[in-house]
Structure 1
């Protein structure tokens, strides 16, 4: 069985299979939501209570931020294992993107002024984003590689295009989400990050068939044969 999606069976744009551009936009919206929320997080934590923030000190805010970022970069170990052994890359990305969307929604709801202490919901939202990002992030890059033969000369160019989406999403998200949150409301800022993550989830889900079996199934289990069975 082929270990990569047959790029010759897909429509092409700029010499690359259309699946690459599905990944480009999905990754762009996820990075928009991730870096947008990161830009907003410390601003929200240190803002005065009268401005809707929590009025933390900067050291307290940076401590939470540091733990959050550390866990985000640790959690992909789980995402890679689940994709390889249980779900495959595509399903793991869908589950991860869904959890990220739920996380942003939780953070947006936590800022609503409804006479309740919703700090727990805020922390829950952060946890969902950490978990979802861990499932999502490593598998997007893996799917890019699965669309090309191992010795394909196009693979380097494909990763260049893919990481252009990463940079575009990070740049736009940092500017827009931070500005919306600071000038309108924290709820709108956190909510906007979630809305664009949801867009990315939808377009990936409905286009997932273009990635082929190699990206949709976990690795086949290795069978250890005895010397007699190998003969």
Structure 2
């Protein structure tokens, strides 16, 4: 029997007046896999993420959580994570870990920031700031981790490092959802481009696709169609 996905949507739609930002998206997010939302800026990726997290309420459709109950269901990395100045990396992670009774050393190790633990957060590069943001997203061991543009604007080496961390996170049994305006892997990862905004009106893309990438860098990807059409999740 195929296990239920950790997160799923059914005909998920979000409209703002006459503008439809997310258009009838039906998609499943299984555990131990990275699923991405890929599309150009303004295509509705961040709105879809806000719907998944419950920040926004859908106009139509639904979001269902099917994962295990933990201290936190979701971990979240915003596009531009910021941290309070005057604190080190270790102090920052210790704060977030303390909120949910987690181990700060584990969180630092998960993202490979042990060597800069004593560095002020204001002294971090853009890529290391994203890694620190991923560390706080992992506090409490949430089953679903949502990353909004985790490698946007970073150099190729740091992007590769971040996506390696992302795949390791999924390999530990989590459902990872990430957004990107370009394909983060050369072979392409997951995509759900719910709509496009051209000339102030949202229109369905002529072709929409959703891919799921099983965790592990040597595994083979399986492709799935989304954008309002139901798909059967490929077996893991």
Could you state the TM-score of these two structures normalised by the residue count of structure 2? 0.21
- Structure number having the greater helix percentage: 1
Higher relative contact order (CA 8 A, sep 6+): 1
- Structure number having the greater strand percentage: 2
